[in-house]
Amino acid sequence: MTVSGYSAETAGVAGSLILTTDYRVPDPSRVWPLLEGRRQELAALGAHHVFVHTSVGEADRVLVTMALHTAEPVADLLRSHAFFDWFDAVGVQDLPAVFAGELVDRFHVEHWTATAPAVVIAGVTVVQDVGTLLDQVHRTRTLFRRNGIQNVWIFRALDDPNEIMFLQDVADEASARRWLERPETAAKWLTEAGVGAYPPVFVGTLRHVMRIDVVERANGG
């Protein structure tokens, strides 16, 4: 799958604040048009990229990640009417949890390409030590490759140094399912890193990418 606007530059989120929301809506197809209609509001928040993923197994589940350049405190951002108005517009019934963090590590298991991943696995979990997790990830590179994992991104929450979000690019849905279900692969990796269970894990595909340029952010502010 190729998503317009996806590239190594697009995926480069180092130095940005990441806000990720995982929620259920009656009609996920409404999410992207509503986001596009709120470009100026997103620009005012400091967003420079927005990524929309839809679940491959749960028809009503959506994962939206925003990358922002902003010095505004996270708490102030989350109180913005833009978030609440948007959630109401897409039909969110229960206010979703928001992960706010920054990139702490990434590595490419396979050669980097500008093509969007076929499938992504994303989840938030609590670890005993982030350094231990990062070491474990790098030491098990062969295990990742053997199970179809192509790239790994790890983000640390701003409000809890032991809470992380992981994002893994996977070759296909079958590989993603095997990775999550076989204890000698995913579970072993998580356990050895000292990670506790933090469901639910999201399995989906990247559907849309929005890029907001400097001029839009200046006008939005």
Q: Give the integer Cα–Cα distance in Å for 209 and 5.
A: 6
pLDDT (tens digit, 9 = 90+) per residue, 155-175?
Answer: 999 888 889 999 999 989 999
* Stretch 170-184: mean pLDDT: 86
pLDDT at 9: 44
- Domains of the chain with CATH codes: 8-100+205-220 (3.30.70.100), 103-203 (3.30.70.100)
Instruction: Determine whether 43 is exposed, middle or buried from the number of CB atoms within 10 Å of its CB (0-12, 13-18, 19+).
Output: buried
Encoded tokens for 184: 């000698």
User: Mind listing the pLDDT tens digit for each residue in 51-74?
Assistant: 999 999 999 999 999 998 876 677
Strands 61-68, 119-126: pairing is unpaired
What proportions of the chain, in percent to the nearest 5, are helix, strand and coil? 35, 35, 30
d(CA 50, CA 215): 16
Whether the full predicted model's pTM is greater than 0.95, yes or no, is: no
